[in-house]
Structure 1
């Protein structure tokens, strides 16, 4: 085996690269962003004991992960949107660490630090993909034994392999944040607790999640047509706030505080998903992992599956008699798993916006 190319320096691609290097295999990760700090990495993740944590053990990074993880972040709270009363408050038992939380940025940093210097080639945009070959924005090309598409929702590698593009789910997230919440926003911090708080009714929800260093991310979630925000300038914080307050009119004032007391602005995150099932005919020299393979609603499983995909694929490449046999073995396990999970997530997205206050994000 000569070399392996991974498109995309997200969690799944980096985990794959880490395990490949543990087995002495040559790998390069190509990332179009200029550096690791080119953009924020999003909020908090819960790593499950039977998927994400398995991957961290395979990568030899479990103990380091545990140093950064927050078991207390498993707390789940549900509040009545009209009264503000607590309907459910599930606090993890002592020693419960099945799905502790960790900031996505911390986890990505941990994976990056584990790689050999120069493994990630930053600022390398991929313009064309064919089996075992990549073409880059600078005009260069390179050949590999295998090209792995770990390049996320709008994967260029997927376009070559399946031609399928994500579809709008009908659900929109609008994200906002609270900095140093315990000191600056103590009431909202108390409502959130140490983990996740949800309140919802009539196809609308507010979800708040505790991150590290006192930061809280909140998401206004609702059904909306794809072009609902066409005339709304998200740089105009006052206009976005007014739109959301009208949408959530009648909710308890304590909960509307999340929309009033943000630090910074609002970020529009319409949810796109791949059709279910999403699969492909095995193609020598190409495969996919993570969101490139199975983009699902953000219900607590995407990062876990990406990490598991990456480490399983790398292990197969290190142990199978040939690259092609390794990829066939990986796809034979990953595709059925991802299809079943995607079906469950499609149902779960609508449960998220049901009136059942005990139906929480996984």
Structure 2
């Protein structure tokens, strides 16, 4: 066993999964989380978990059956439309089913929280700074002034990670695309046209410089993202929290040439309208091995959502880091092995994400994603076809 105690900054999916896997392997940990409780804030949208990453990690955490109980197989269906509302690809009609079930982020986080012993998560605890005195252990300064020494420190603290500063000067850069998030509730009863348009999974209506993305969540909810390619200053001005009607008018002007049914999603939204500028770390980011410190999830490799890999990579990072810490004879060997594999898969996913972001708002959008989807279905058919 490589270590006696692991300090985890951040109680998102990756940090919690790591704590759970360490617990199963007999390694104690503490998770420092800013939220006051598991339900202190909204948990975001729905996640599609891949068999070889997110699902694998949950199986290693002993939570696969619990995941299956709250997952939605039909949620994996994807529709790709153009601005006129013409459907170019619909996974439901292409034979896709059951390989990438969707789960609401809040449900998944709840499973992870409930799987941990009382006291592992230190709720309502802000980490204000991290430092590494020369020749000493890493120190965390908490919001109450307490200083905590970390034998092994894992930054699972998201895009704007404080722990990352111990390893690299890199920070996330604006991608050139911003989302405005909105919600529709009780859609089957009160928004039948929207429910039919989006279907049981996700819908992408893409055009040059603009896109409307909607995804079915649990509880009869649809979460919508109105995507605009713009400079950062313009992106900041898209949403006025004090004037939601004015924000919707601006969005309707931006999407003036989209089909009426797509534009109706803007007018029907219930709010709150939330700006979501998309940032990403440089593709292929690496850092020199630093004793006793590493990162996982968005802290290590935040990327745009256009490869669908963020949560999957965070969970896989947690599984592989937990196993490395348990199976290696010393901490540095464990972290070296973990980072070598993590760097490689993060670079591949980050490159795909960056390429897909560009393609999603190119002049021929959504053609590139349609071609990708059809190529995937061909490969799937080839690998599952019976021998001749």
Fold match by TM threshold 0.5: yes
Q: Secondary structure at the match of 1:170?
A: strand
1:194-251 residue CA offsets vs partner (Å, 9 max, x unmatched):
0011112121110110111110011111211101144552331111101111101122
Match of 1:262 in 2: 269
Distance 1:261 1:14 in 2: 36
1:161 to 155, 163, 167: 167
2:64 to 59, 62, 65: 62
1:190 aligns with 2:196: yes
Query: Which shifted more, 191-200 or 89-98?
Result: 89-98
- Do the aligned residues in 1 keep the contact of 2:82 with 2:365 (CA within 8 Å)? no
Instruction: Give the direction of change, closer, same or farther, for the CA distance of 1:94–1:65 in structure 2 (3 Å limit).
Output: farther
Match of 1:303 in 2: 311
Distance 1:333 1:229 in 2: 35
Query: Which shifted more, 94-103 or 221-230?
Result: 94-103
Distance 1:259 1:97 in 2: 31
Distance 1:268 1:241 in 2: 13
Shift of 1:93: 7.6
Shift of 1:2: 3.2
1:12-65 residue CA offsets vs partner (Å, 9 max, x unmatched):
000100000001111000011211111101000000011111111111111111
Instruction: Give the direction of change, closer, same or farther, for the CA distance of 1:92–1:154 in structure 2 (3 Å limit).
Output: farther
Q: How many residue pairs get matched?
A: 361
Distance 1:114 1:195 in 2: 28
Instruction: Give the direction of change, closer, same or farther, for the CA distance of 1:95–1:198 in structure 2 (3 Å limit).
Output: closer
Match of 2:243 in 1: 236
Distance 2:96 2:365 in 1: 29
- Do the aligned residues in 2 keep the contact of 1:200 with 1:206 (CA within 8 Å)? yes
Shift of 1:86: 2.8
Match of 2:118 in 1: 117
Report 1:1-362 matches (<5 A).
1-82=3-84, 84-91=85-92, 96-131=97-132, 132-231=138-237, 232-299=239-306, 300-354=308-362, 355-358=364-367, 359=369
Distance 2:65 2:366 in 1: 35
Provide structure 2 residue ranges, at least 5 long, that are not aligned to the other structure. Answer: 133-137, 374-388
Instruction: Give the direction of change, closer, same or farther, for the CA distance of 1:332–1:87 in structure 2 (3 Å limit).
Output: closer
Instruction: Give the direction of change, closer, same or farther, for the CA distance of 1:266–1:67 in structure 2 (3 Å limit).
Output: same
- Do the aligned residues in 2 keep the contact of 1:74 with 1:92 (CA within 8 Å)? no
Structure 1 length-normalised TM: 0.96
Shift of 1:85: 3.3
Distance 1:147 1:85 in 2: 50
Q: Secondary structure at the match of 1:228?
A: helix
Distance 2:183 2:251 in 1: 15
Structure 2 length-normalised TM: 0.89
1:247-285 residue CA offsets vs partner (Å, 9 max, x unmatched):
011221111110000122311000011112211000001
Instruction: Give the direction of change, closer, same or farther, for the CA distance of 1:230–1:195 in structure 2 (3 Å limit).
Output: closer
Instruction: Give the direction of change, closer, same or farther, for the CA distance of 1:153–1:315 in structure 2 (3 Å limit).
Output: same
Shift of 1:96: 3.3
Query: Which shifted more, 346-355 or 51-60?
Result: 346-355
Query: Which shifted more, 338-347 or 283-292?
Result: 338-347
Distance 1:311 1:235 in 2: 43
Shift of 1:127: 1.8
Aligned-pair RMSD on alpha carbons? 1.7
Shift of 1:311: 1.1
Shift of 1:306: 0.2
Distance 2:93 2:139 in 1: 48
Distance 1:151 1:92 in 2: 39
